[in-house]
Structure 1
Amino acid sequence: MSAAPAARQRIESAPNPAIGEQRRNPRPQPVLSERRTTSNERERSCGPDVAARSRPTRSSSALFVFFLEVAMANSWRRRALRSLLAFAALLALVVAFVAMSSQRRLQRDYALKIEVGAPDPALAEQGRHLARSRGCMDCHGGDLAGKIVLDEMPFGRIVGDNLTRMPPGHENASVHERMFRALRHGVDLDSRPLLMMPSQEYAHFSAREIEAISAYVSTLKPIDHGLPQSALGPLGRALLAFGKLDDGFVSAEKIDHDAPTMAAPPPVGTIEYGHHLARLCTGCHRADYAGGPMPHAPDKKPAANLTPHGLAGWSERDFIVAMRTGKRPDGTGIDGSVMPWRAVGTADDEELKSLWMFLRSLPPVERSTNAKL
């Protein structure tokens, strides 16, 4: 072997430092990007026609359904909004009607001019008897200093006025005028109507009887129970506005304010005097005294039939005992919460006999009320 080939062989077989370095640190290879090309890039690279064909498109039917759904949704919203606005407008009209109608009736000015003198003090004892036996204390309290008669919101709150004190703003007014306005006309000192004051039953009182009650009230010492004022709630105002409280709730509307006032009552012990007393019963037992559903209290027992048909088998003595004790001839009790037998029972015998005489003089009326006195 020659020396030259041997030397070349040694050179080729010798390690190359550069190749070893490349093997230890190979050159990084380029990596293809996975980013999706945008439509603009596709247009630049492929042309606008190819790019347009590659975009996803909706069919015409799908677009129609989409726009139809949008239109229907908007239409439903518009209908719902119109219905809501119509309901709100109707509700506002009803509320306005109730407010104005009830306020007009509650605040009506009857513009009554009442001129009465001071009551005769000698009539005070007779006035005390009338205040007890004619039911004044049932609503105004035993001391006539007022009483809450009804407190049921949202219907309302009815308070029997304090008769021992003059109302605010009228401290120097006449007690006689106040009593005359309330009993004869159903209004206060400002000529505004009183609520649930049964003045249509007292309007027939004679001037002498009203004067006697005024004389008695004038002797009472002022008492203050701190009672609230009467007020009608939203339900009460709605019933009043729609004519559902017309049975004497605002009694001033039912009274003939121009009718003359009798000077004195008929003589005691006569049918005429009995009729004079019985007119206090018409609020519950009706004008024909045959009874029926209770005004403003349909859940209560109907008022009894007081004609000879309803009191068949009763005697004068039975009637007087029932008014004194609250017991019927058969021994059963009379419901004092609806029949004021305690007040009626304070009338003297001659008054009760007169009342019985009148009731027996009535024509019999047959009416099924499922109630008895």
Structure 2
Amino acid sequence: MKKRSWMRALLAGLGALVLLATMALGLGVLLAERKMQRFVDVPARPVAYRDDTASLERGKYLFASRACMECHGSNGTGRTFAEDGGLVIAGPNITTGPGGVVAGYQPVDWVRAIRHGVSPQGRPLMIMPSEDYNRFTDDDLASLVAYVRSLPPASGQGTVLKLPLPVKALYGFGAIKDAAARIDHSLPPQPPVPEGVTAAHGQYVANMCIGCHREDYTGGKIPGGPPDWPAASRLAPGEGSVMGRYPDAESLIALFRSGKRADGSAVKVMPFESLREMSDTDLRALHLYLKALPGKG
């Protein structure tokens, strides 16, 4: 009798845990749906359109080297960049062709989307990594917009975002945040930074690393990434930092050009299709800045 009572109590306990887990999952998914539809008020100031040759060339370089084509494809028509089990993420068509999402964009809408991760309707753009682009200068933002607006119209799809229920619940409970929740929207646009092999320019370039490596460059699990993605490396000084592998700019440039470490092993997650397009000036400045970061625990 005692054994039966013990088994009944155990089964009842397990049943209660399953019920609680199911309720928590359902609540997390509900919170996620509400969070995805929230209104995000941002103090966006429009940046005037440009179409001069210098801006178009600069915009083309930024589009190629700042990972825009990783999500939107080289022609801007959209691209699936994560597909793992129940997780499917695809960037949308950003041409003015069929299925494009930017046909009705006004100058301020480009600023909301790129700098703030917010749609023209004020909803969070779930997969737009605007934390990497929030510190774009007005010149660079205008140049990037100029190039995107110059892309030939072509057919493509809208955003695809399919999240496994546990991932969606984690988002709902705040364990995973969208870009609009991570950005300090009160910051003014970054002042122009002279291009050159300087720590100041390197800091500006390093803004593109924030989404994966965090603002303090300590790395860790990439928010919202598939479960089999490795953690982003620690770039800041301290235990586990990978910068010791790159004693000079040439070694970092070799990584970006090849996608392989000095020992020949491949880096799995970094978007080298875009990163290999970065100029030597940008990479030398980036190396200079990262090597000069103050020590952190």
Q: TM-score range by the shorter chain?
A: 0.7 to 0.9
- Alignment partner of 2:262 out of 312, 317, 329: 329
Secondary structure of 1:353's match? helix
Contact kept? 2:82, 2:226, Cα under 8 Å: no
The equivalent residue for 1:216 is: 147
Greater Cα radius of gyration, structure 1 or 2: 1
Q: What are the within-5 Å matches in structure 2 for residues 340-359 of structure 1?
A: 340-359=271-290
Is 1:197–2:128 an aligned residue pair? yes
**What per-residue deviation string (whole Å, max 9, x for no partner) do you get for residues 316-369 of structure 1?**
222222222234334x1432x412234222121111111111011123568xxx
In 1, distance between residues paired with 2:244 and 2:164? 43
**What per-residue deviation string (whole Å, max 9, x for no partner) do you get for residues 249-271 of structure 1?**
x1101112222112423443210
Contact kept? 2:51, 2:146, Cα under 8 Å: yes
- Alignment partner of 2:37 out of 99, 104, 107: 107
Contact kept? 1:147, 1:227, Cα under 8 Å: no
The equivalent residue for 2:235 is: 306
Q: What are the within-5 Å matches in structure 2 for residues 128-143 of structure 1?
A: 128-143=60-75
The equivalent residue for 2:3 is: none
- Alignment partner of 2:211 out of 266, 280, 283: 283
- Alignment partner of 1:319 out of 234, 243, 252: 252
AA at the equivalent of 2:31:
S
AA at the equivalent of 1:140:
H
**What per-residue deviation string (whole Å, max 9, x for no partner) do you get for residues 229-276 of structure 1?**
434453333222233323xxx110111222211242344321011011
In 2, distance between residues paired with 1:244 and 1:236? 9
Structure 1 residues 329 and 191: alpha-carbon distance in aligned structure 2, compared to 1, 3 A threshold: same
RMSD of the alignment, in Å?
A: 3.2
Contact kept? 1:148, 1:227, Cα under 8 Å: no
Structure 1 residues 294 and 103: alpha-carbon distance in aligned structure 2, compared to 1, 3 A threshold: closer
In the superposition, the TM-score normalised over structure 2's length comes to 0.79
Contact kept? 1:323, 1:342, Cα under 8 Å: no
Identity among equivalent positions (%) equals: 31
Q: What are the within-5 Å matches in structure 2 for residues 3-82 of structure 1?
A: none
Q: What are the within-5 Å matches in structure 2 for residues 231-242 of structure 1?
A: 231-232=162-163, 234-242=165-173
In 2, distance between residues paired with 1:243 and 1:345? 34
In 2, distance between residues paired with 1:329 and 1:95? 44
The equivalent residue for 1:158 is: 89
- Alignment partner of 2:293 out of 357, 362, 365: 362
CA deviation after TM superposition for structure 1 residue 303, in Å: 2.5
Q: What are the within-5 Å matches in structure 2 for residues 200-279 of structure 1?
A: 200-226=131-157, 229-232=160-163, 234-246=165-177, 250-279=178-207
Structure 1 residues 344 and 242: alpha-carbon distance in aligned structure 2, compared to 1, 3 A threshold: same
In the superposition, the TM-score normalised over structure 1's length comes to 0.64
**What per-residue deviation string (whole Å, max 9, x for no partner) do you get for residues 48-106 of structure 1?**
xxxxxxxxxxxxxxxxxxxxxxxxxxxxxxxxxxx9xx999978965663344112210
Point out which structure has higher relative CO (alpha carbons under 8 A, 6+ apart).
2
AA at the equivalent of 2:64:
R
AA at the equivalent of 2:220:
G
AA at the equivalent of 1:138:
E
AA at the equivalent of 2:196:
V
Mark the runs of 5 or more structure 1 residues left unpaired by the alignment: 1-82, 367-373
Is 1:116–2:64 an aligned residue pair? no
